[in-house]
Amino acid sequence: MTFRDLNIIDPILKSIAIAGYKEPTPIQTDAIPVLLSKKDILGSAQTGTGKTAAFAIPILQNLYIERPDSNHRHIRALILTPTRELASQIYENFTLYAKFVNQRSTVIYGGVSQKKQEEALAKGVDVLIATPGRLLDLMHQGFISLQHVSYLVLDEADRMLDMGFIKDVNKIIEYVPKARQTMLFSATMPKEIETLSKTILNDPVRVSIVPVNQTIDVIEQSIYHVNKGNKTKLLVDLITSYKMKSVLVFMRTKHTANKLVTELTKANVSAEPIHGNKSQSARERALLNFKKGKTQVLVATDIAARGIDIEALSFVVNYDLPETPETYIHRIGRTGRAGLDGKAISLCDPKELSLLKDIEKHIKMTINEVVHVYPVSKDMSNNAGQPKAKTSKPNPQPKTKAFNPLKPNYDSKPKTKMKKEQSEQKPEKKDMNGLKNLAPKSKFGPTKPVNNYMKVQQPKRNQNNKNRRAVK
């Protein structure tokens, strides 16, 4: 089947040809006819299967055919995404497909100044791609109105659920007219997403290309059991032995991502981090350097897993195993795209064995184990993740002191009485010989006794007064 068989108009076919698309993917073949007929859709497909084109092409075609009478542009299509990288990627695709249909699109997200975004919105926009947080901010400031929206897309809905954006999404949907076409796409389909779909979709058509519990068949998966302290050494050896020109490494936290970049740089491996704490310009620069081959290793957290779209990426490394099996699928889905071969390598610490079992249960297969020079002992691997058995210790017997009749029993109650009696005894008063003991003490040594205390204490002024009276 070709794109022309899907009843796509010539201006968009021309753009598709320039982009190098030869034939539609399965998700495009099933979704485009449904969306061209303006029906709601609930789509689940693996990452890298062409979901963006599956909803972007029919939206642009319907907007082109409808052509509003007024020259002023209103937001008629809204696409919500969880991350900045994914929003930028979708914006690039819309710009490419709309080259000959005169449909203007723009993208807004947080982490950057909103001034340029305000200017783009003021010129008029047909298609708006946005992250939920920045969209709500600009709506509250009065820069955006959604009263003309006819097409609503929730892309990577499961990721928005994981990142806590569902409340913001529900707030945004309240401002969108109910008379609309809604599209919900997700890499996985947990129960929460199915519940959400029942509230926002109207009699949707369900499109599922591959069962959500299966991983891409073309990806070669392997597991390396290694202690946490040897993971970096093993990673450097793998990069060298496989001659990896570009490898995407996933970490669990931002701190460990920065730390790994520092360690790889010391090992003469060019690496850059990409995570939520980095500014948008720094993230774009790191991603661009990686795509151009200037950076050998890109170290990312899961927040960037869905937004990274790199062609012909051969290696993905799970430095830390993800906490959910679905995230594992998203990670390794960065490689093996468009039918190309790919390798997914996972480094498993003994404490992560339970996570590995959950992943293998989810994908319904056992990942191939590879032997290497940093093995983990069987005792550590078998006992990892299991609570330590409590060893019963004999109850310690209270220590008793031997009785000595010559010594008083200080542990008995009379001990306190003796202390009281001792405290009540006061030292005897010394015999004070006149006023001699009133002499002030000095740190420089003993002072002479005071013989005539009253005369010494008299001020000189009184003596002077007596002398003056005598003279008079």
Q: How many CA atoms lie within 13 Å of 463's alpha carbon, on the beta-carbon side? A: 7
Instruction: Give the pLDDT score at 336.
Output: 73
Answer whether 166's CB lies under 8 Å from 160's CB: yes
pLDDT in tens, 378-400: 554 444 444 444 545 555 555 54
Q: In terms of DSSP H, where are the helices of 132-230?
A: 132-140, 157-162, 166-174, 191-200
Strand order in the sheet with 77-80: 105-108, 127-130, 77-80, 151-154, 181-186, 41-44, 205-208
Fold type of domain 219-383: Rossmann fold (3.40.50)
Q: How many CB atoms lie within 10 A of CB 271?
A: 22
Report yes or no on whether pTM surpasses 0.85: no
* Mean confidence (pLDDT) of the chain: 81
| DSSP bridge partners of 394 | none
Instruction: Report the amino acid identity of residue 132.
Output: P
pLDDT in tens, 319-333: 999 988 878 887 887
From the options 3.40.630.30, 1.10.460.10, 3.30.1130.10, 3.40.50.300, give the CATH code of 4-208: 3.40.50.300
CA distance 193 to 40: 15
Domain ranges of the chain: 4-208, 219-383
Instruction: Give the pLDDT score at 358.
Output: 93
**Residue 437 exposed, middle or buried by CB count within 10 Å (0-12, 13-18, 19+):** exposed
pLDDT in tens, 246-267: 899 999 998 999 999 999 999 9
Instruction: Average the pLDDT over each of 14-23, 112-121, 232-241, 305-314 and give the range with the smallest value.
Output: 305-314
CA distance 67 to 59: 12
163 versus 205: the higher-pLDDT residue is: 205
Domain 219-383 in the same topology as domain 4-208: yes
Contacts of 373-382 spanning 24+ positions with Cβ under 8 A: 373/234, 373/237, 374/226, 374/227, 374/230, 374/233, 374/234, 375/225, 375/226, 376/225, 376/226, 376/227, 376/350, 380/227, 380/350, 381/225, 381/350, 381/353
Confidence of residue 32 (pLDDT cuts 50, 70, 90): very high
